[in-house]
């Protein structure tokens, strides 16, 4: 088993609706491409199915950082062709979506839930967590430097008795642990 988001687990392989096996390799094959991730998110947000043209417009708008109505025909066409010829057939073969190229429709299959768990991750939250960890580390280093200087009797810090520095150290550790626990 591989550990997933929020303690959930994904089996090394799992049965898809049509008897295919969805392996972790297949899950990560879908996830490794930004357009495939965008398709998964779009379908998930729009009830699990959509027209190819709608998906392509959404992905193109996202890639070009613009609104759908402001896309050029070339931007739409480039993404639509890539989805039609490459990404959607690949996702269909992997058992994650049902792509009907004659009708121009795309729908999530049951196995898509194994991919979706990884799309729930928020990159902004990851950056905020990393910044919080750096702040806690710098705070700990700063407190350790002040406590060490005080314990060695350097400058004005020598006025605080050793028991005071012990108390400062303990309170700092409890504060940092509490902050990390809340995060």
Average of per-residue pLDDT across 142-162: 86
pLDDT band at 85 (very low <50, low <70, confident <90, very high): very high
Residue ranges with strand state E in the chain: 2-3, 9-10, 13-15, 21-23, 49-51, 97-100, 105-108
Among 30-34, 86-90, 122-126, 173-177, the range of highest mean pLDDT: 86-90
Element (H, E) at 129: helix 123-151
pLDDT (0 to 100) of residue 55 = 95
- What mean pLDDT is reported for the chain? 82
Q: Say yes or no to pLDDT of 77 above 90.
A: yes
* pLDDT tens figures, 97-140: 999 989 999 999 988 888 887 877 555 666 677 777 788 888 88
Tokens of 150: 């005080």
Structure-model confidence comparison of residues 158 and 35, the more confident one: 35
- For residue 3, the Cα-to-chain-centroid distance in whole angstroms is 14
> How many whole angstroms separate alpha carbon 83 and alpha carbon 92?
11
Highest averaged pLDDT of the listed ranges 22-26, 48-52, 140-144: 48-52
145-170 mean pLDDT: 87
Q: Which of 22-26, 66-70, 99-103, 126-130 has the lowest mean pLDDT?
A: 126-130
Per DSSP, 122 falls in state: -
Q: What is the mean pLDDT of residues 35-55?
A: 92
User: pLDDT over 70 for what percent of the chain?
Assistant: 83
């Amino acid at each position: 088993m591989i550990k997933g988001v929020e303690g959930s687990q994904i089996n090394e392989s799992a049965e898809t609706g049509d008897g295919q096996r969805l392996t972790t390799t297949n899950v990560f094959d879908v996830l490794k491409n930004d357009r495939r991730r965008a398709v998964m998110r779009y379908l998930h947000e729009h009830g699990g199915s959509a027209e190819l043209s709608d998906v392509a417009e959404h992905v193109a708008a996202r890639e070009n950082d613009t609104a759908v109505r402001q896309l050029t025909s070339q931007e739409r066409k480039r993404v639509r062709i890539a989805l039609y010829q490459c990404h959607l057939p690949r996702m269909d073969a992997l058992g994650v979506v049902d792509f009907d190229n004659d009708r121009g429709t795309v729908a999530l299959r049951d196995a898509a839930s194994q991919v979706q768990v990884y799309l729930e991750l928020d990159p902004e939250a990851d950056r905020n967590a990393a910044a919080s960890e750096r702040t806690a580390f710098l705070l700990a280093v700063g407190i350790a430097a002040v406590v060490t200087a005080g314990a060695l009797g350097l400058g004005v810090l020598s006025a605080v008795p050793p028991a005071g520095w012990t108390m400062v150290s303990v309170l700092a550790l409890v504060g940092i642990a509490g902050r990390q626990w809340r995060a």
